[in-house]
């Protein structure tokens, strides 16, 4: 009889939203050093609805924004750590199969940038807001070797120096309306 579900058929008896598999959400791998870089990443990803996996050098973040936080070793004083992080990155790429990768900087993103390139995973790189007059060291390497698909920069004066870099503005505002100080003080 039309419109009647036989209770003898357990699959048909289930409501439609349980029977059908939900649409799979995109997975974005976020690679960012702790501190300012991570703060910038959180601001920049405010509107992204994908499942976010974070790779970071410290796990000081009790943030529900990320599905999982993967801690890697810091590379500040020992560049050979990059090789270890590269191997870890291979495992991570195989395990979570990201649709895209995002970084707001910090040298820990370099081996993951190579992996994104090798696996043709889209990589959006945002150079840190902290560098006002020139690219960060990590940004220079990313730009020089074309390791990202989209290179965003928060300062116009830097973006204008490179054809491959897009200016986007700062991820958060540092001004208030009460201030009457000049926008920039000479160093």
Report which secondary-structure segment, H or E, holds 153.
strand 150-153
Task: Kindly state whether residue 102 participates in binding other proteins, applying the rule CB under 8 A.
Answer: yes
Integer Cα distance of 155 and 167 in angstroms: 7
What is the closest distance, in whole angstroms, from the C-beta atom of residue 49 to other proteins in the complex?
8
Integer Cα distance of 104 and 124 in angstroms: 9
Q: Would you give the DSSP letter of residue 74?
A: -
Stretch that binds other proteins, among 13-21, 88-96, 111-119, 126-134 (CB under 8 A): 126-134
Task: Kindly state whether residue 23 participates in binding other proteins, applying the rule CB under 8 A.
Answer: no
Contact 167, 159 (CB under 8 A): yes
Tokens of 73: 């070793």
Task: Kindly state whether residue 103 participates in binding other proteins, applying the rule CB under 8 A.
Answer: no
Binding mask 145-164 for other proteins (x = CB under 8 A): -----x-x-x----------
Interface positions, 36-65, toward other proteins (CB under 8 A): 36-40, 43-48, 50, 58, 60-63
Helical segments of 97-167, H only: 109-118, 137-144, 156-159
Integer Cα distance of 163 and 138 in angstroms: 18
State the residues that interact with other proteins by CB under 8 A.
Answer: 26, 28, 34-40, 43-48, 50, 58, 60-63, 76-77, 100, 102, 122, 124, 126, 128-133, 136, 150, 152, 154, 168-176, 178-187
């Amino acid at each position: 009889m039309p419109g009647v579900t036989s209770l003898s058929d357990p699959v048909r008896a289930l409501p439609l939203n349980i029977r059908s598999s939900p649409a799979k959400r995109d997975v974005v791998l976020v690679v960012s050093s702790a501190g300012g870089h991570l703060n910038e990443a959180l601001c920049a990803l405010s509107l992204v609805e994908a499942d976010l996996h974070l790779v970071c050098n410290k796990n000081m973040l009790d943030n529900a924004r990320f599905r999982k936080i993967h801690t890697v070793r810091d590379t500040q004083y020992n560049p050979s750590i990059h090789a270890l992080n590269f191997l870890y990155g291979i495992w991570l790429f195989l395990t979570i199969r990201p649709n895209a990768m995002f970084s707001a900087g910090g040298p820990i993103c370099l081996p993951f940038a190579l992996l994104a390139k090798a696996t043709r995973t889209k990589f959006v790189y945002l150079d840190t807001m902290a560098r006002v007059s020139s690219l960060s060291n990590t940004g220079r390497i990313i730009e020089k070797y074309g390791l990202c698909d989209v290179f965003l920069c928060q300062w116009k004066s830097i973006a204008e120096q490179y054809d491959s870099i897009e200016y986007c503005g700062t991820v958060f505002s540092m001004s208030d309306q009460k201030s009457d100080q000049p926008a920039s003080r000479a160093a």
